[in-house]
Structure 1
Amino acid sequence: MFDAIIIGARVAGSTLALQLARQGRKVFVIDKMRRGQDTLSTHFVWPRGASYLNRMGLLDKVLERAPSATRVNFTMENFRFSGEVSLDLLAARYERLHGTTIGAKVQQRYFSARRKWLDTLLIDAAMEAGAEVRLNSSFEHVIRDADGRPMGIEVRSSSGKLEKIFAPLIVGADGKRSSFARQMGSIELEPRRGCSFACFSYFTDTGLPLETHIQKRGRLALAHCATNDGAHMVLLFGPESFNEAFGQDREHHFLAGLKAINSEIAEQVRQGRRVEPFYSTADQAGFIRNAAGPGFALIGDAACFKDQCTASGMTHALRDSALLADLLAIDSIDLQDRDRLDRALAVYQQKRIADSSRYYDFVCLQAEMNATRPDELQLFEALQADAQAANRFVALYGDTLPVRDFFSEHEQKKILRSILLQEPPARLPVHESVLGNPFLSPKPALSQGEAVALSRNCVEFATPPGADLLNRVEDYYDWYRERMTHETFQYSRTLETFPGPRTRLVDDSGRAVKGINFASQDYLAMGQHPAVRQAGLEALQKFGPHSAGSPMIIGNTSISRDLEGQLGAMLKMREVVLFPTGWAAGYGSIVSLVRPQDHIVMDRLSHSCLQQGAYAATKNIQKFPHLDYLTAAALLRDIRSRDQRNGIMVITEGIFSMDADSPDIRAFQRICRENGATLLIDVAHDFGGTGPQGGGQLALQGMLGEVDLVMGSFSKSFAANGGFLATHSPAVKQYVKMYSSSHLFSNALSPMQTAVALTAARIMVTPEGDDLRAKLMRTSLLMRSEFANLGLECRGQPGPIIPVMIGEEKVARVCHRILQKRNIAAMIIEYPLVAVGTARLRLQIMASHEEADALTACHEIAQAVGEARDYCGSARDARFNGESVPGPVSGRSLSPLESSSAEFFIE
């Protein structure tokens, strides 16, 4: 019987075994690798990781063979700067996580070591400390007790012998494809598909310097660092979409890519001697797993995998092993004491999430490998002029300075102060060779204008450079005109008739679509209902067309009170406040209740009104992976461990409109009550249109009347503008009415809109409402089934929204053009509303859609997607043949600012 079993003997597993063995625990370690076996890795350990090794007494031995330095050099486009991580920041980050000081063990040096040597050194250290390490053996199965708790594992030796090993604690350190995590049911959360491809090898006799250099130009980047045995590791990386073409001639493209970034470095590498094959991967999509549960934990890549672009994996593996070992060392926890062990594991999960969630987002943004935006160029220009700020950037990149601290408003103002009074540098020509895929073979070229229309995105224009507020938007207008000319602009189309299942609309150029409509939001077809229309006409006759005032003056009517009562009855909540729009309801509910000293914990994909309301209310905002209540719980516990005095609002939605998925509302409400937090649910897309009596996900999950705050919109199922907030508290209602600016300082919902929403709500709770929801669901199921037959993926759960996945943004835009010509109205959703490379059609179903039209739309869409993919696969952007397009092409790259431009677009 062992105290702990560790599955995986590389950096995370071996160092945890070492530390637990030094605590006097009996540790068993298993790994399928052979002794001295290499693994794909950047080999890089930042000063934060080196400090952990120093604390273990291993750093000096590592540095005997692995070259090290303190300064890291960056060249970002045309700006050069270098920096080192300060001892003070290292010590502060350690104390913040571990609660104790690390003292003289803090180490500023970083190093890069070959894994086949470093892993062997760490395994030997673990064995010297008393751990039993068994290599070349495989983990087979988890052994559980009668309650399902892990109690041991089955191990198969290289000879095929099966053996059972038992311990009260089992730790998975078996990497991104962790078999242990899979058997424990720890699913991958928050997957990020936008990742980089990477290719590297080892070169000698290059003349490259000892210090690590990272350089980014357009959408490509390189890095080189000295490693053991006199070799330099040279790495080329770019967006994952470049990988297929790159792989057609790896050796040639490797040097061509280096040359496109830095011709001098490329020549040094060419003249050097490559001593090993090229190693490459594009399998770097990130994810987070729940890192602990009763009797088990995950560490390193098994707990969270990130793209290689910041070379932080080994540093975080060392952090995880030290954190878990430290928590188990407190009061020398007896691992047979299940309650104390599980409490320690819960704290590990909590602290790990609090330490790493923002950095995970930061790395995922870098991995998209978008070209640099103007505001980012301004930041890099400032870093070039400010050595202290450059040090802090290096500390950010190596995850010593927290992301939130570097991108705080105060820090950014301080960094930029030195350049804001200077004339901006002349706009440099854009290096087209590294904006598109330079590895593609020459193909028929698109026109210059169509190339622009199929590239770029809204985010790059969100922070335009220049002091002239009006003229600086011309770049956006040029892009808009190209998209209009080439029929790839899906926004701002105008209806010329009623928005029913068939309609007529035109775009800004007068091009018309007259046909099947899956772009309008009228889930139960209430806008077509005779009683609903009649109610609007009667309200017009009685009250006129205009509310004529704020609801806090005399803008409301008797219909308003009836509507509040009807909504309260449907939601089983006593009090309701009306707002002029759903956006105003989301924004106003938050800003009225949350104050600057309070905290907000919200789903990363929350709607724009919720995001902007949060940032307007407080800077204390933390985001959890989409739908992940376990991470949300860990964040809540972390906040409460530091702040018992101020409020916490947790924010999620009933149905998320981009993925058509839903959270576990009961679990969210439970964790809120356990931690003294308030839950706000946005039910805009599910209330009325789904669930028994139109109760949406609240009714489907048995949570009507059980949630603290419910806000929603009338624009999806109620055939009206407007929104609401529902609460059990009369005090909250009156307070929100007074302190919500979007309620107090807006005119009330018009009498006609109020009457329409009220009549729709009354129909929803009748048998007719049940029939309408059933008709909508039948159409949704029919279309999802047909899309599956046609080979198209639909995300989420059946309901009024069907996200049909397309992939590349340019394919989606061409698909839009084709569908317009075939008289199908459907909305293309692309970055930044969704992640790069996950563009989709968002179809919105009405109860009045006919089966024939639904099936016709499925087949037209499938054909359009196929044609668009063929078109984009056979036509090559003229810019990539060396022609120049003015203006930077950029996306979301290095600015996870507290109120980022990308969040502005979340809808």
Structure 2
Amino acid sequence: MMQEGRPLDFMRARLQTLQEAQLYRRLRPELGSSEPWLERDGRRLLNLSSNNYLGLADHPALKAAARQVLERWGCGMGSSRLIAGSSALHAELEARLARFKGSESALVFNSGYVANLGIITALVGPGDLILSDALNHASIIDGCRLSRATCKVYPHADSAAVARLLAEARRNGHSGKTLVVTDSLFSMDGDVAPLEELVDLCRQHGALLLVDEAHATGCLGPGGRGLLADLDEEVRAYEGLIAVGTLSKALGSFGAFVVGPALLTDYLINVARPFIFTTALPPPVVAASLAALTLLEEQPMLVERLQANAAYLRQGLQALGFNTLASSTHIVPVLVGEASQALEMAARLQEAGVLAVAIRPPTVPAGMARIRASVMAVHTRSDLDFALEAFERVGRELRLL
């Protein structure tokens, strides 16, 4: 008698392998929150795991804006932007984002992941060359793969390596387009890219430069305009410079955007498949994003408060003896090493009242598992002291200090 097939055995095997390697993941809806403190089962947990950096996700102004637009426009647009889903609200948001970023135009996408896939695959293809930082976000990596361009990964934040690769491409007679792509602020290490050097190299070689400011928008640079805003105007004026940002982190809403010359947005509207074939963002989401921009423009001190909090926690962890890698921002990693150790530390921190998740491969390299602490502008000094006490206690229990 023929044995009945088990077509999902490959799933069982893969999940078992992940469990054995301490890399299995599961959803934890009981911990879902963007607030600085969580109330769960009668316990309070200090939230150091949210990207709600400015604390705007539950701000009354964003809620009020979303409610008002919900009553007028409803819950969804019902079609893509190119059919019947491009409203005056979407146009207003794009105009505001362009002004906020000091660019000629902006185009909104439905998420940062979708934006990077759409932009990279629209810019380059077979016969073209991509130079990508080794620690770039997964959305960039996947965009590079899907583009079918030749992709060379350069050592993290190594502008000298980029220079060598660009010179090598020129010597070898590369005739296609060249795209250099990097995060501006790296989401797992908390350090920043050498942006001015990269712009200069791309200008010399006529290459495109795509900079993902997802974790920098609203958090760094003058008024939270991102790290590119720190560069001289002449540097920022390079025609081949393209920036991506998100609405879902510091701005407390959802979605993403690209800024650059009007030619770029016109091109993407016509070529970027994830934009063309995706239903437009819901009106309440767009309204919340507009309200967040207004708040940030009216209260730039939120950015200063965020970075002051980050420096306080980072320096406190370093004083205890923890390795925070090269972080200089509101993303503060605590290097642990093995995935099992990181999981144990996260569990003990939670028992001590701190929600700080373990980051494991493939998000980070093997042997580089860590606790990733994300600071918010709305955390108080007493909140951060509470966190430092918990880290010290758990670190000593696990003999990491």
- The question of a shared fold, defined as TM-score above 0.5 by the shorter chain, is answered with yes
1:859 aligns with 2:389: yes
**Equivalence map 1:226-241=2 (5 Å):** none
SS at match of 2:130: strand
Shift of 1:489: 6.1
Q: 2:195 aligns with which of 662, 665, 675?
A: 665
Aligned to 1:474: 12
The 5 A counterparts of 1:146-165 are none
Give the match's secondary structure for 2:57: helix
* Greater radius of gyration (CA): 1
SS in 1 for 2:358: strand
Q: CA offsets, 1:391-442, max 9 Å, x none? A: xxxxxxxxxxxxxxxxxxxxxxxxxxxxxxxxxxxxxxxxxxxxxxxxxxxx
> Matches of residues 424-823 of structure 1 in structure 2 within 5 Å?
470-478=8-16, 491-495=26-30, 498-504=33-39, 514-702=44-232, 704-706=236-238, 708-728=241-261, 730-766=262-298, 768=299, 770-823=300-353
Q: List aligned pairs for 1:26-65, cutoff 5 A.
A: none
- Looking at structure 2, the residues matched to 838 and 659 of structure 1 have their Cα atoms a distance apart, in angstroms, of 10
Q: After TM superposition, give the deviation of residue 491 of structure 1 in Å.
A: 4.6
Calculate percent identity across the aligned residue pairs. 27
Decide whether the 8 Å contact of 1:490 with 1:828 is kept in 2.
no
Report how far residue 556 of structure 1 moved: 2.5
Contact 1:582–1:721 under 8 Å retained in 2: no
Q: Decide whether the 8 Å contact of 1:580 with 1:748 is kept in 2.
A: yes
* Cα distance in structure 2, aligned partners of 1:516 and 1:840: 18
SS of match in other structure, 2:361: coil
Q: Aligned AA for 1:713? A: T
How many angstroms does 1:495 deviate by? 4.5
Find the residue that maps to 1:553 and give its secondary structure.
helix
Asked whether the equivalents of residues 601 and 621 of structure 1 are also in contact (C-alpha less than 8 Å), the reply is: yes
Query: Using a 3 Å threshold, how does the CA distance of structure 1 residues 625 and 860 change in structure 2: closer, same or farther?
Result: same
Structure 1 residues 779 and 540: alpha-carbon distance in aligned structure 2, compared to 1, 3 A threshold:
same
Residue deviations 1:813-860 (CA, integer Å, cap 9, x gap): 111221232232111112222222221111111111121111111221
Deviation at 1:479, TM superposition (A): 5.9
- Identify the residue that residue 356 of structure 2 maps to in structure 1: 826
For 1:253-332, what aligned pairs fall within 5 Å after superposition? none
Cα separation, partners in 2 of 1:514 and 1:481, compared to 1, 3 Å:
farther
- Unaligned 5+ segments in structure 1 are 1-466, 506-510, 871-907
- Once the two structures are superposed, residues 666-712 of structure 1 have per-residue CA deviations (whole angstroms, 9 ceiling, x without a partner) of 11011111111100000000011122111121123335554611112
Would you say 1:841 and 2:374 are equivalent positions? no
**Larger RCO of the pair (alpha carbons < 8 Å, separation 6+):** 2
Q: Which residue of 2 aligns with 1:404?
A: none
Q: Secondary structure at the match of 1:531?
A: helix
User: Structure 1 pair 801/512, CA: closer, same or farther in 2 (3 Å)?
Assistant: farther
**Shift in Å, 1:497:** 6.9
The 8 Å contact of residues 693 and 765 in structure 1, kept in 2 or not, is answered as yes
What is the Cα deviation at residue 481 of structure 1? 7.0
Comparing 624-633 and 706-715, the one that deviates more: 706-715
Q: Distance in 2 between matches of 1:480 and 1:630?
A: 37
In 2, Cα distance between equivalents of 1:588 and 1:598: 16
* Conservation of the 8 A alpha-carbon contact between 2:191 and 2:328: no
CA distance in 1, matches of 2:350, 2:25: 10
Q: CA deviation at 1:780?
A: 0.8
CA drift of 1:865 comes to: 3.0
| CA distances 1:311-363 after superposition (whole Å, capped 9, x unpaired) | xxxxxxxxxxxxxxxxxxxxxxxxxxxxxxxxxxxxxxxxxxxxxxxxxxxxx
Query: What is the CA-CA distance between 1:748 and the residue it aligns to?
Result: 1.1
Letter in 1 for 2:287: A
- The amino acid across from 1:709 in the alignment is I
Q: Which letter does structure 2 place at the counterpart of 1:542?
A: R
In the aligned structure 2, how far is the partner of 1:824 from the partner of 1:852? 13
Query: Residue type matched to 1:841 in 2?
Result: I
Kept in 2, the 8 Å contact 1:600–1:614? The answer is: yes
Are 1:497 and 1:504, in contact at CA under 8 Å, matched by a contact in 2?
no
Rounded to whole Å, the distance in 1 between the matches of 2:186 and 2:6 is 38
Runs of 5+ unmatched residues, structure 2: none
TM-aligned CA deviation for residue 608 of structure 1: 0.8
Write the letter of the residue equivalent to 1:759: A
Q: How far has the Cα of 1:759 moved from its partner? A: 1.4
For 1:704 and 1:541, the matched residues in 2 are separated by: 40
Give me the whole-angstrom Cα distance separating, in 2, the residues matched to 1:503 and 1:618: 44
Query: Relative to 1, partners in 2 of residues 1:727 and 1:468: Cα closer, same or farther, differing over 3 Å?
Result: farther
Determine if contact 2:327/2:333 at 8 Å carries over to the other structure: no
Distance 1:512 1:534, change over 3 A: same
Structure 2 matches for 1:873-888, cutoff 5 A? none
Pairing 1:216-255 to 2, within 5 Å after superposition = none
CA distance in 2 between partners of 1:483 and 1:494 (Å): 24
What is the aligned residue count? Answer: 393
Over the residues paired in the alignment, what is the CA RMSD in angstroms? 2.3
The 8 Å contact of residues 572 and 705 in structure 1, kept in 2 or not, is answered as no
Compute the displacement of 1:796 (Å). Answer: 2.8
Partner Cα separation in structure 2 for residue 776 and residue 528 of structure 1: 17
Preserved CA contact (<8 Å) 1:572 1:704: no
What is the DSSP-based 3-state SS (H/G/I as helix, E as strand, rest coil) of the residue aligned with 2:163?
helix
Work out the CA distance in 2 between the residues paired with 1:622 and 1:743.
26
TM-score using structure 1 length = 0.42
Structure 2 contact 45–350 (Cα < 8 Å) conserved: no
